[in-house]
Amino acid sequence: MADIELSDYVTSLSSATLTGTEEVYLVGDEKTTTQAIAEFTGGKVWKCFITQTGTSAPVVTVLINTLGAGTITSTYDSTGYYTLSGFGTSLTSSTSIEARFEIPSYLNTGGAVRIDADSFAVYTQASGTNTDDILDVTFPYAYTITVTKYD
């Protein structure tokens, strides 16, 4: 595993040899995190912020799209269960889907699971029961979903 020091002035990591799960140190922020950085190692990535309130479909804000996904449609399926579709044939067995829900209550959980090559489900729960509004929080909490396809 390589240690890579990043700063505000890094313009390229093209000379680094990366394995895909580097230990990333944020100097000056005093935080250490392990982060998959497949976008630098040949993987294709789609990443978004996601929010949801009431019985509305989730709102998705795309941050990265090297996967080549088209327009993503989100639907409200039932309490605490939503679908994101529009990935064409991108979601194959060589695809990982990671939901990062830093939910303020330890009783609240959530995740994402592949349905087929075009779509995946997002679910949110409170104390084990499907629940809406879990993704309705404000800063500093952020909910992201990252889809990474390794060819």
Q: Which of 18-22, 45-49, 91-95 has the highest mean pLDDT?
A: 45-49
Q: What pLDDT score does 20 carry?
A: 52
Q: Tokens 């230990």 appear where? A: 23
Task: Show the tokens assigned to 143.
Answer: 């909910």
Q: What pLDDT score does 127 carry?
A: 86
pLDDT tens for 3-42 read: 444 443 344 444 455 555 545 444 444 433 444 444 445 6
Task: Show the tokens assigned to 111.
Answer: 């995740």
Domains of the chain, by residue range, sit at 3-40, 44-149
Residue 43 is which amino acid?
Answer: G
Q: What pLDDT score does 54 carry?
A: 92
Answer for the pair 50, 26: CB distance below 8 angstroms, yes or no.
no
More confident residue, 23 or 124: 124
Q: What pLDDT score does 120 carry?
A: 95
pTM for the predicted model, two decimal places = 0.69
Q: What pLDDT score does 107 carry?
A: 74
